[in-house]
Structure 1
């Protein structure tokens, strides 16, 4: 295929990432996915033998280097880089239930790694005719919840980095998209199925937005939530505080 693209997806073996992998593999693109669990990567390869898996822990510098090295060894540029991998832990600072190692993991995986990977892969993105970097953020970046303050902080940082990076890359041929999904039915949202968006549906909408060249993609109820936050922020905060 003359229009075959190289798509890179972190966390591409489970949840939303797996659905994005499926869509781009079915399109005939070359899809490179990164995940921490070899069995999950093997499951994807059974369904999509053409996918290129890299087993690496992006929260570890050695794992990040392994992933970056594997991408630089590919023949050709990167057309689409989707930063999807994320972790979320509950913390209760008031009760003193805080594990420093989990705080560090959240900050590294959710925020520092996407920033560092983007810097490492810019040379490959610049080689593409028209490249795009995508950050999967969260509505919690703007309206946080009580139980996961560190996760919310990392997603707020990610959204702000996405916008700042977009400013810096103007005129380079590399676009930047900030995706803000509604609550997606994944392991992270277990037990809240009645309030979630399926990973398959979210992936379809994200890909459609990327095909349109959207710089900001908001899914489900996020648009209404952000509108409420602008006109009545205290109500928006109360709504998501215990979510």
Structure 2
């Protein structure tokens, strides 16, 4: 698909993957509108307003890139926020563009998922649930739109070396030997998927294999991830102890 002259609306376009993706889209001649949280305000809080805007001025391509993850014990996670940003916002924005795209019989909806949605890891319960839900939404919508000119493209990266994966998340990834990709690599592959109107892109051969294994034999993956659980607990408990010590001084 030629992108020259196509209009694109992207959330998360100033992030680690989003920024280089925007550059690629603009270099290809697309007219890109970036929703920036710093400039435009919190996406979740402004969701109704953004949806109305997209209904009035529907782009040729919607890219749902904005997201966040948290590594912590389940009971300490802000589930409302994690689900709202990672799953509800993309679903609502997609609903907003569908009427005009259907009227044109053309368009593309791109969702940024995660391999964690296919291989749910310990201590990222909210993020894993939201990304698994987004995967289901994308699959269902793609099948619903079969026979139309609207493409649905789901991207599932493994760990990416962005600021979102720093601190304790970077520590756990390093100790569990999780492989990561550069933002530029993920952006380039996502760009190719948009041009090719691909259905889905999954990153990493070991991750793709374990996603299949998790679907067929989840108990095997349960057992295999117990070492990850222990490492996560060690990091989280160490962080908590450090926090208590600082508070006491």
Q: Sort the TM-score into its range (normalised by shorter chain).
A: 0.7 to 0.9
Structure-1 separation of matches of 2:6 and 2:110 = 15
Aligned match for 2:71, one of 67, 87, 90? 90
Q: Is the 8 A contact 1:137 1:179 kept in 2?
A: yes
Structure-1 separation of matches of 2:202 and 2:151 = 17
- Unaligned runs of 5+ residues in structure 1 are 39-54
Report which of the two has the higher share of helix: 2
The alpha carbon displacement at 1:231 in A equals: 5.6
Higher Rg of the two aligned structures? 2
Structure-2 separation of matches of 1:157 and 1:120 = 19
- Show the counterpart of 2:155: 179
Structure-2 separation of matches of 1:168 and 1:208 = 24
Aligned match for 1:153, one of 106, 123, 129? 129
Aligned in 2, Cα 1:11/1:82: closer, same or farther, shift over 3 Å? same
Aligned in 2, Cα 1:22/1:236: closer, same or farther, shift over 3 Å? farther
Please show how residues 87-236 of structure 1 align to structure 2 within 5 Å: 87-93=68-74, 97-98=75-76, 102-128=78-104, 130-190=106-166, 191=170, 192=173, 195-221=179-205, 222-230=207-215, 232-236=217-221
Q: Is the 8 A contact 1:34 1:67 kept in 2?
A: no
The alpha carbon displacement at 1:230 in A equals: 4.8
Aligned in 2, Cα 1:35/1:137: closer, same or farther, shift over 3 Å? same
Q: What TM-score results when the alignment is normalised by the length of structure 2?
A: 0.78
Aligned match for 1:56, one of 41, 44, 50? 41
The alpha carbon displacement at 1:89 in A equals: 2.1
Structure-2 separation of matches of 1:6 and 1:153 = 31
- Show the counterpart of 2:237: none
The alpha carbon displacement at 1:109 in A equals: 0.8
Q: What TM-score results when the alignment is normalised by the length of structure 1?
A: 0.79
RMSD: 2.5
Q: How many residue pairs get matched? A: 218
Aligned in 2, Cα 1:27/1:113: closer, same or farther, shift over 3 Å? same
The alpha carbon displacement at 1:59 in A equals: 1.3
